[in-house]
Structure 1
Amino acid sequence: MDIEQIEIAEFLKRVAPFDALPGEEIEQLARQVDIAYFKAESSILMAEQPLSDLYIVRSGVVETFRRTGELYNRLSEGNFFAEQGLLRGRKAHFPAVSKSDTLLYLLPADVFDRLFETYEHFADYMEISEVERRQTRVVSASSGSDHELMTSPVASLLQRKLVMVSERLPVSQVAQRMSEHSVSSVLVVDSEQNPQALLGILTDRDIRNRLVAQRLPYSTPASDIMTTDLFTVAHDDYVFDAMLLMLRHNVHHLPVVNNGVPVGVIAISDLVQHEAKSSLYVVSSIFRQNSVAELAKLKADVRASFVRMVQQDANSHMIGSAMALIGRSFKQRLLELAEEQLGPPPIPYCFIALGSMAREEQLIVTDQDNAMILDDRYNEAEHGAYFLALAQFVCDGLDACGYPYCKGGIMATNNKWRQPRQVWHRYFQQWIKEPSAEGLLHSSIFFDVEGVWGEQHWVSALKREISGLAKTHIRFLASMVRNALLRTPPLGFFQDFIMETDGRQNKTLNIKRRGTAPAADLIRVHALASGCMQSNSFQRLKYLQKNAVLPKGKAEDLRDAYELIALTRIRHQALAIEQGEEPDNNVAPEQLSDFERRNLKRAFQVLSNAQKYLKFKYASIQ
């Protein structure tokens, strides 16, 4: 290969889903890729234009638009577009425009087809990638919250002067400029071709780890040690978006762009001064701990983070998302520690989250629901001991960190829930095609699933199969409907609360069992019946509203009711923590104000009506 092809190959090795292809396949692709250059504000694709290539962004920024002219997606280095058109009729679905000088790699359609047919992970990624990109907003725009996390743009955090350097500048001079401007990072740009083209970022950590520790000369150019695998955030995105991006990818600096042009950098130090700093502190701390004992010491920090978000009037979606990310981070760090202790896994695997963590609706009172998908080459005699030890390490660690063992045994330590891919596909096929009482017990947990570690694209393929099967199997949907109607809101005939009557919980409402859980159950049924692949209840409701699955206005009513019930549960738990008590899900109505009781009754009535509609909508299949 010539130098240009080597550069293309090295780039593809860093970009999903190409990074999982065999080395010889990537070398072949490098010889087949064409290169195209577009100046800023140039049209790349028109709607319905015939397609002959997959477009991969090498540098620059591309925006795609709906036919109405509304912005659909903003793409930067490593992103690709036109895959949906290639899969559906060979015509462009969305117009595409370069927002800055842009270099594209063009992968011929016939090569795309061959990869799609040959590599399952490639096909899975291409089929669901657009859906995933459209899930980047985790905050519901219609939530009605005026909390600062949701209303403050990222631009409000930009307090330092933007410092940009040439990729050719020696690191010694870069360090001098960082010192002069009192910044911990600089953006590296192409000084000759396009001074606004972002090539990478160079931080004080990069200088320490990649230059000083490696004993490289101080004359080393910035391009040699900069980070090129960048995550960026738009200047008008919300602070909460930036915070979750940092949490999910464990990054310490985020370049801020305006229409693809760099306008600043935000660092952890900027976010930690913001009101939502605690959740970021916790996640950052998790990845710095080197033992289970050290991780367990963070339990108090997790609770403090939860309470602080409640005090700041964050909505339930924001709190659930942040707490789920904290839980995911514990799992990820425990898996890292487990692999350090046990050695690298003998075959690929994926550790999965189930239930509330998968829905991003996790709170303080929660147990651990998890499982493990193993490569189909799994052999019990050769591999069983390793993965049992791995599962035991993680589940014991989670229990120590405040996530108790699942009483129902829904954990990766259970051999039944530590199985090869083909077995998991068989599980779901059986639950859907041959519904049973046991299968229904699993439906409220296993049908909310997300990957946490390892081959996470396996979960995407599994969810795609579930989505296709569930909506076409009437007996399964009928069983799911009956299951969703088992738990009803705690309202009597005269709209008075029906209290728990057992022991310590006497005269209280179990607001999870009789509130949030039945709401999540019925939302899940509508989602499965309509082919929705989302996991979060609010995102599912948004899908149901958009696709007119529910009568006009009912999705919004159910969303507001779910939010109020969830917030009542959240505030009850936060109050218990503040008072030094152990939080639970049992709310005493007498401790609520008249206003809170009235609105909670109204929310329960909305939930009750939603259950009646569920029964009516699917009456013909029951």
Structure 2
Amino acid sequence: MTVGAFLGAHPPFDALDEDELAALAAVAEPEEHRSGTTILAEGLGPPAYVRVVQTGAVEIVHGGRVLDLLGPGELFGHAAMLSGLPLGFSAVARGATTCLRLPAESVRALLGRPSGLRYVARSLLTPLGDDHGPDPAQRPVGELIRAPLCTAPPSTTIREAAQRMTGCGASAVVVPLVDGRVGILTDRDLRAVVADGTDTGSALSDAMTAPAWTAAADRLGGEVLLDMLDRGVRHVPVLSPTGEVLGVLEDVDVVAASTRSSFGLRARIARAGSVADVVAAARELTPTIIGLHDARVAAGDVAGITAVVVDAVTRRLVDLAVADLGAPPRPLTWLALGSLARREAVPSSDVDSALVWVGPERDADAAAHSRALAERVLAGLAAAGFRADANGAVATNPLFARSYEAWAAAARGWLRDPTQEKAPILVSLVVDARPVWGVRASPAVPDVFRDARRHPDLLRLLGRYALAHRPPTGFLRDFVVEHSGRHRGRLDLKRGGLVPVVDLARWAGMAAGVTSASTPARLRAAAAAGTLSPAAAATLEEAFHLVLGLRLAHQVEQLRAGEEPDDLVRPVDLSAVTRASLREAFRAVASVQRRIVAELDLGVR
């Protein structure tokens, strides 16, 4: 690819015509940087050049923390150049990196155009690394829409749609469809139209995505962002409760700059041509997690992004397996279970999985194909560093690879007789299930439990199962720790801190009619439905975020040291403030549990 073609494929240079691109390419100077080289140093005066990453990656560093990771096509140094102020960060090559150095005078005029101003505004909208106002991840997406709504009927030409987008100052146009759904055409779609040589006089319906994936206005930004990452989209129409399109949410509206690199990692995994390529791409997850943590991205968001990346690895491995084995004889869906399904994964999380096919229960061909596929996928995941669940909740186990009818029959059996062996454990796994690959439109296995409220015996049993895990609070204002063996003196954050909250949230969520969902979402639904008091739900959610944050911080330090991540911390190593916060959180969770125990004993629940 020529320098001009490379620049023209990325904003803000995609707004230039061929002659302007050729002129800019003529003054662009390639620079080769070895890994660890400081390309721009913090505190230096405004640069005479701005730079574009051509290959490799560049870390944006401030105060010893990595605030952002820039990939090919991303621009840096332009803010200091435009403001005339010293650089507020250092730019350091991660791995062998090539940059294109562009004279400031050649770029300044471009950044003064409407398209350039939009680029500058978007790149500076979210301050790096620090909190400046409410966290967008915790706000409803209806409050995060910045760009004006731009719409056009399907009969509009592509050229007219592009003109409307320019006039509106929007990066996407929404297209109402006759069935009540909507289509969408984005600036990325327009670049594809130009690259493919499509006639811009063609109807908009020939280039748009329809139906577009949409989000309800009351969904939280962090939850929608994870879905955007999972689906590989950067624009989503936001709908009011009545189905009216309120506007289009962009990833930059909700995601911190440090998180945007996750899109690139997911894209590299999706392009991997072999299992070895998938494994190589997946190795980027560890530095990504460390970088996100260092940039003070919330632990819940890091956990969600981790799950999205593991989903992408799984999806690509399934695609490669299907390419070798042939298409499944029956429509097939790969399900994530456990923390991956809830998008609460950390580096130590194992992979719980299941398979479901549409068709007869006793289909030998479907079962054999599913097992062969699962063996390949789990082997690939293991090679990429994601170990399978050691307790057998894996898609190679016939108990977790069944037809939908067999799954549904088993679930109905657990509803009728929850005293069956391992019923509480299996219900807890299945109700978390989330589709990762395959037929997403097929009946969802967890949906069988939506009427769990009509089965009080099951709910009571699940409630008692959830209450079996107690926070590790001792009698002498201390924690219960391991008393012998190599883990002596250590506290298990997962077993003692997270599991009690996760299990209570699942039980309370099921009582509220909620199945597959994250722990915080289940707690909020339970509070809204009255199955938990708002105060109890808030207590549990606060404890969840505290323990998850400690768990992630502990494992990040282990990753830095080249150690295998685990959940065991030494309370004496925690600060006095952290110990006090953790102790109070455990006590609050224990208090909620005692109230629920009393209600179950009295038959209130």
Bin for the TM-score computed over the shorter chain: 0.5 to 0.7
For residues 380 and 236 of structure 1, what CA distance do their matches in structure 2 show?
43
Structure 1 counterpart SS, 2:271: coil
* Deviation for aligned residue 1:555: 1.9
Q: How does 1:94-109 map to 2 (within 5 A)?
A: none
Structure 2 counterpart SS, 1:514: helix
Task: Give yes or no for the alignment of 1:508 onto 2:504.
Answer: no
For residues 254 and 184 of structure 2, what CA distance do their matches in structure 1 show?
21
Q: Does the Cα contact within 8 Å between 1:201 and 1:228 map onto a contact in 2? A: no
Partner of 2:292: 309
TM-score, with length taken from structure 1:
0.64
1:350/1:224 CA distance change after superposition, 3 Å: closer
Partner of 1:39: none
* Deviation for aligned residue 1:406: 1.4
Deviations for 1:283-324, whole angstroms, at most 9, x for unmatched residues? 222212222211212333222332333334343433333222
* Deviation for aligned residue 1:520: 1.2
Partner of 1:575: 557
Task: Give yes or no for the alignment of 1:439 onto 2:419.
Answer: no
* Deviation for aligned residue 1:281: 2.5
* Deviation for aligned residue 1:265: 8.1
1:438/1:170 CA distance change after superposition, 3 Å: closer
Partner of 1:522: 504
* Deviation for aligned residue 1:341: 2.3
Deviates most, 563-572 or 450-459: 450-459
For residues 175 and 145 of structure 1, what CA distance do their matches in structure 2 show?
34
Amino acid corresponding to residue 292 of structure 1 in structure 2? V
Q: How does 1:527-546 map to 2 (within 5 A)?
A: 527-533=509-515, 535-546=517-528
Partner of 1:455: 439
Q: How does 1:43-192 map to 2 (within 5 A)?
A: 146-147=134-135, 149-150=137-138, 169=157, 187=173
Q: Does the Cα contact within 8 Å between 1:432 and 1:470 map onto a contact in 2? A: no
* Deviation for aligned residue 1:345: 1.9
Amino acid corresponding to residue 538 of structure 1 in structure 2? P
* Deviation for aligned residue 1:331: 2.1
* Deviation for aligned residue 1:232: 6.1
Structure 1 counterpart SS, 2:541: helix
Partner of 1:604: 586
Q: How does 1:158-237 map to 2 (within 5 A)?
A: 169=157, 187=173, 200-201=184-185, 203=187, 208=192, 213=196, 220=202, 222-231=204-213
1:264/1:582 CA distance change after superposition, 3 Å: same
* Deviation for aligned residue 1:504: 2.9
Structure 1 counterpart SS, 2:233: coil
- Of 295, 314, 318 in structure 2, the residue corresponding to residue 331 of structure 1 is 314
Q: Does the Cα contact within 8 Å between 1:164 and 1:189 map onto a contact in 2? A: yes
Q: Does the Cα contact within 8 Å between 1:488 and 1:608 map onto a contact in 2? A: yes
For residues 161 and 317 of structure 1, what CA distance do their matches in structure 2 show?
30
For residues 264 and 224 of structure 1, what CA distance do their matches in structure 2 show?
20
1:387/1:596 CA distance change after superposition, 3 Å: same
Amino acid corresponding to residue 342 of structure 2 in structure 1? R
Deviations for 1:187-231, whole angstroms, at most 9, x for unmatched residues? 4879xxxxxx996415555664x6765x76575455533434334
- Of 318, 323, 326 in structure 1, the residue corresponding to residue 301 of structure 2 is 318
Q: Does the Cα contact within 8 Å between 2:299 and 2:545 map onto a contact in 1? A: yes
Deviations for 1:447-501, whole angstroms, at most 9, x for unmatched residues? 32222222334453x3332232465242x34433443233322221122112113
Task: Give yes or no for the alignment of 1:486 onto 2:464.
Answer: no
Task: Give yes or no for the alignment of 1:396 onto 2:418.
Answer: no
Amino acid corresponding to residue 473 of structure 2 in structure 1? L
1:145/1:447 CA distance change after superposition, 3 Å: farther
Structure 2 counterpart SS, 1:307: helix
Partner of 2:369: 386
* Deviation for aligned residue 1:601: 0.6
For residues 333 and 305 of structure 1, what CA distance do their matches in structure 2 show?
19
1:374/1:159 CA distance change after superposition, 3 Å: closer
Deviations for 1:389-432, whole angstroms, at most 9, x for unmatched residues? 22112222222222202111111111221111221122223333
For residues 263 and 526 of structure 1, what CA distance do their matches in structure 2 show?
34
Q: Does the Cα contact within 8 Å between 2:367 and 2:402 map onto a contact in 1? A: no
1:547/1:577 CA distance change after superposition, 3 Å: same
Q: Does the Cα contact within 8 Å between 1:167 and 1:189 map onto a contact in 2? A: no
Partner of 1:424: 407
Structure 2 counterpart SS, 1:201: strand
Partner of 1:243: 225
Q: Does the Cα contact within 8 Å between 2:182 and 2:212 map onto a contact in 1? A: no
* Deviation for aligned residue 1:511: 0.7
For residues 481 and 235 of structure 1, what CA distance do their matches in structure 2 show?
32
* Deviation for aligned residue 1:359: 1.9
Structure 2 counterpart SS, 1:352: strand
For residues 568 and 206 of structure 2, what CA distance do their matches in structure 1 show?
58
* Deviation for aligned residue 1:596: 0.3
* Deviation for aligned residue 1:370: 0.8
Q: Does the Cα contact within 8 Å between 1:320 and 1:360 map onto a contact in 2? A: yes
Amino acid corresponding to residue 449 of structure 1 in structure 2? A
* Deviation for aligned residue 1:594: 0.3
Q: Does the Cα contact within 8 Å between 2:351 and 2:386 map onto a contact in 1? A: yes
Q: Does the Cα contact within 8 Å between 1:449 and 1:459 map onto a contact in 2? A: no
Deviates most, 342-351 or 582-591: 342-351
Q: Does the Cα contact within 8 Å between 1:271 and 1:277 map onto a contact in 2? A: no
For residues 559 and 320 of structure 1, what CA distance do their matches in structure 2 show?
15
For residues 587 and 491 of structure 1, what CA distance do their matches in structure 2 show?
15
1:336/1:606 CA distance change after superposition, 3 Å: same
For residues 186 and 547 of structure 2, what CA distance do their matches in structure 1 show?
46
For residues 588 and 359 of structure 1, what CA distance do their matches in structure 2 show?
27
Q: Does the Cα contact within 8 Å between 1:450 and 1:459 map onto a contact in 2? A: no
- Of 345, 349, 359 in structure 2, the residue corresponding to residue 362 of structure 1 is 345
Amino acid corresponding to residue 536 of structure 1 in structure 2? S
1:204/1:318 CA distance change after superposition, 3 Å: closer
How many percent of aligned residue pairs carry the same amino acid?
26
Q: Does the Cα contact within 8 Å between 2:351 and 2:388 map onto a contact in 1? A: yes
Deviations for 1:103-159, whole angstroms, at most 9, x for unmatched residues? xxxxxxxxxxxxxxxxxxxxxxxxxxxxxxxxxxxxxxxxx9944654798998979
Structure 2 counterpart SS, 1:275: helix
For residues 529 and 219 of structure 2, what CA distance do their matches in structure 1 show?
26
Structure 2 counterpart SS, 1:372: strand
Q: Does the Cα contact within 8 Å between 2:149 and 2:246 map onto a contact in 1? A: no
Alignment RMSD (CA, Å): 4.1
For residues 547 and 470 of structure 1, what CA distance do their matches in structure 2 show?
12
Q: Does the Cα contact within 8 Å between 1:368 and 1:405 map onto a contact in 2? A: yes
Structure 2 counterpart SS, 1:326: helix
TM-score, with length taken from structure 2:
0.66
Q: Does the Cα contact within 8 Å between 2:355 and 2:395 map onto a contact in 1? A: yes
* Deviation for aligned residue 1:505: 1.8
Q: Does the Cα contact within 8 Å between 2:352 and 2:389 map onto a contact in 1? A: yes
Partner of 2:536: 554
Question: How many matched pairs?
Answer: 465
Is there any run of 5+ residues in structure 2 with no aligned partner, and where?
1-131
Q: Does the Cα contact within 8 Å between 1:451 and 1:459 map onto a contact in 2? A: no
Structure 1 counterpart SS, 2:257: coil
Amino acid corresponding to residue 229 of structure 1 in structure 2? P
1:531/1:378 CA distance change after superposition, 3 Å: closer
For residues 290 and 328 of structure 1, what CA distance do their matches in structure 2 show?
17
Deviates most, 423-432 or 367-376: 423-432
